[in-house]
Amino acid sequence: MPLRSRERARTAPPPATPRFLLPALVLAVLGYQINATMLSPALPDIARRLDTSSSLVGLSQTLFFLLAAVGQVTMARLSDYRGRKPIMLLCGALLILGNLACALAPDISVYLAGRILQGVSAAMFSLSFLTLNDLLPPTAFGRAAGIISAVNGGFAGVDAIVGGRLADTVGFRAIFLGGLLLSVVGTAAVARYVPNVAPKAEGTMDWLGATLLALGLSGLLVGLAQGAGWGWTSAATLGCVLGGLAALTAFVLVQRARSTGGGTASGTGARTTTPVIDIRLLASRRAWPLLLTVTLTLAGAFGALALTVPLFTQDPHAGYGLSATRAALLYATPAAAIGVIGAPLAGYFGPRVGWRRVALVGSAGSLLAFAVAVPFRDRPWMLFAALVVLGLTYNGLSITGLNGFAVVSAPRDQQGALTGLTGACFGIGASLGTALASGLITAAGAGGATGSAAYTGAFVVALVLLALAMVTALAIKAVPEDAGSAARDVERVPAVHL
């Protein structure tokens, strides 16, 4: 059956869907997002005002993104059992507490605790996608998902500039006070305008599996983020990475036992403990190529945009020697602004041509843009043009398409699992990309590389990662005919197609 015919055959959304649903979710996502995008320019101010080291401030960023990955998985999956709205309200409460702690922090320890609480609330993004899919028909879901993706990227790059201005004039606490106000408004909007939807999964949450997954992700992310500083062969780095891999191996074994054994009873007459994610789904071409594509895409594009390009454009010897503000205006803000346009476009076309196709176009465009950027990076206008294209393909099409595919391709009772894992892979990819870029640039400098050659390795590795992402994107299997928008097909649970 053609894609459009399948989508018309899906059941209609509940008639009571509130008209302010999307604005409420936008506010909720923004409340989290400004803590990620506005804070980067204020990091030196935080170190100065809290009388702490730059390494501890850097650790706060690591913990923030680490807990974001863990929160995406656990909170999204928990919402399958408890419902989306209660978990969104929990995330909103954690975000409010985190903003308060950071705004009023007397020292770095309280500030670190606040950043941890804020990180967990990153699940608001995945929960918004899942909520929209629960309540809206496919085309409306696509448009709304595009808007949420655009918002999740920040204010078209302006937020970083505003954050820097606030840090220079008022201080970093102003950023968190603004975030506090927005998080209160967003949480209240969720409470008022987001309806309760019945849970999608039966049984109980697999807390053992969730703990193993959280430990595994934590070990990998900390090892990748701190490897350059600790040394890639140091005991701390190897302990984190190997410990993370061991926990992930145990997670797979536990999930396999849960999946093949039908779960485990949690007591006499108690409900069955179901896996965090069915291992058969994880091994299918609807899951593992998706997760690899997300990881590789973020490693290539984010690592370049967040580290390699800023360092290169500000380097007076190897790059353009621009000021931080001018480099951001010319080589960061345009890509972010174009992404705000690209994400709604991806949301419009996703339900019409298929989310997989949107993701493929995004991957191909990003690869092409970087294939031009690498050999012509010495020409400022060529790099500028390539990054503008990357803003459309990566910030817009790829991120929205991959998230949309994760939501609509998962079985009805595992939507939170696959969506949460996809969100976690964004964090893994970002950490991997920045760690590789930092390590290669440092190694090139130590090896005596001069001029633009000091950045060659980082640029080339980003290109290779995007090429690998293109390969894994081609391996993603399209949504089966019987698995379309499973959240609205309450008569049956779609089978797992390997």
Q: Strands of 398-455 (E only): list them.
A: none
State residue 391's pLDDT score: 86
Residue 498 and residue 284: Cα distance in Å, rounded? 4
Please report, rounded to a whole number, the percentage of residues in the chain having pLDDT higher than 70.
Answer: 86
State residue 493's pLDDT score: 33
356 pLDDT band, cuts 50/70/90, is very high
State residue 7's pLDDT score: 40
State residue 13's pLDDT score: 45
Burial profile 211-245: b = 16 or more Cβ within 10 angstroms, e = fewer = bbbbbbbbbbbbbbbbbbebeeeeeebeebbebbe
Class of domain 280-498: mainly alpha
Q: What is the DSSP string of 157-205?
A: THHHHHHHHHHHHT-THHHHHHHHHHHHHHHHHHHHHSPP---S--SB-
Cα 339 to Cα 25, 180, 360, 387: the distances in Å are: 19, 26, 16, 11
What architecture (CATH level 2) is domain 1-199?
Answer: Up-down Bundle (1.20)
Sketch the domain layout of the chain as residue ranges. 1-199, 203-273, 280-498
State residue 321's pLDDT score: 84
User: What pLDDT, in 10s, does the model give residues 243-254?
Assistant: 999 999 998 888
The interaxial angle of helices 324-331 and 158-169, nearest 10 deg, is 160
Domains 1-199 and 280-498 share a fold: yes
User: What pLDDT, in 10s, does the model give residues 32-72?
Assistant: 888 877 776 677 788 888 888 766 777 787 788 778 888 88
Which one has a higher pLDDT value, 415 or 158?
415
Answer whether residue 307 shows pLDDT above 80: no
101 pLDDT band, cuts 50/70/90, is very high
Give kind and range of the element (H or E) at residue 272.
strand 272-273
Would you say the pTM of this structure is higher than 0.75?
yes
Which one has a higher pLDDT value, 430 or 264?
430
Residue 122 and residue 106: Cα distance in Å, rounded? 25
Residue 325 and residue 327: Cα distance in Å, rounded? 5
Mean pLDDT of 64-90: 88
Of 68-77, 223-232, 365-374, 407-416, give the range with the top mean pLDDT: 365-374
